[in-house]
Amino acid sequence: MSKPVAIVTRKWPESCEERLKELFDVTLNANDKPFTEEQLKTAMQNCDVLMPTVTDKINANVLSVENRRVNMIGNFGVGFNHIDIEVAKKNGITVSNTPAVLTDCTADIGMSLLLMVARRVGEGERELRANKWTGWRPTHLLGTKVTGKTLGIIGFGRIGQALAKRAKFGFDMKIVFWDPFDISVDVVNKFEATKLDTIEDVCKEGDFISVNCPATKETFHLIDEKKLKLMKNTAFLINTARGDIIDETALVQALKNKTIAGVGLDVFETEPNLPEELKTLENVVSFPHLGSASIETRIAMGNTAIENSLAFFEKRDLPNKVV
């Protein structure tokens, strides 16, 4: 029996690429350059399974290319807002993702951002690297205490709960949250958490607000000028979900006007590009999309994408089917 033909759009961890070679007739991306739209179209015509990631815009043009061969998209990543899911479904293309395996690492990054922006760690490191530190003094780089403060979480799924675990049991933080779905009483009680009626209520109450909801049409610019103005002027915003959930133009103004105290960002609306102000404002801590960037997690993501694809060709239920 011939192996399914696969095209992988970015470089994967070495062990995953070796496994791909064993199980698929695979074309890898040795130079790790993002595919253009034309390259994605060509790939859709020449393989059985496409294995993209967040840098690939799998839009309607790509999904509807003439003489399409692909019927399976094994996405490397939990997010799938870079794929036009409705068109994929309409065209009978199965899409899978890689949730669960990146939960802890993403929560770790969320907590890192929270601590760094509150305690002005980025500013301190920049001062040291620039040889501008003149020594300890009582009023130098005074930040905000984290222990005992209130963390508001927007989206209380796997990652939101993992962040709550770190905040509650590591820093004795009070947890409030909003989620469109019912959260079990056991989970709520575990964190002594309080579900609030609206996102606006979370914005008003939190000393730190963490965005942990999926990127959808409904959550585009969910955190806008109005919600930023509801936040305390001492509050910090954290985003490890997707960049377009926050209106970056409104965010920059809120930071400049000191409407909020600061922000920690791992994701941006038009990655890898971001507003210059987010690079220069001192009350910003930015990471280059490192949420899942541990060796163990990226290997697990690759293996999950492989397992999803194998299940498709073996006509088994997909472990992580999106559509």
- Residues forming the active site: 242, 271, 289
d(CA 150, CA 167): 9
Q: Within 10 A of 253 (CB to CB), how many other CB atoms are there?
A: 14
Nearest to 55 by CA among 288, 277, 316: 288
- Angle at the Cα of 235 from the Cα atoms of 229 and 241, rounded to 5 degrees: 85
CB 81 within 8 A of CB 102: no
DSSP H or E run through 236? strand 236-239
Helix segments in the chain, DSSP class H = 14-23, 37-46, 60-63, 85-90, 103-119, 121-129, 158-171, 185-190, 199-205, 225-230, 248-256, 277-280, 295-313
Strand order in the sheet with 5-8: 25-27, 5-8, 49-51, 72-74, 94-96
| DSSP per position, 164-215 | HHHHHHHH--EEEEE-SS---HHHHHHTT-EE-S-HHHHHHH-SEEEE-PPP
Report CA torsion sign: 251, 256, 258, 261.
positive
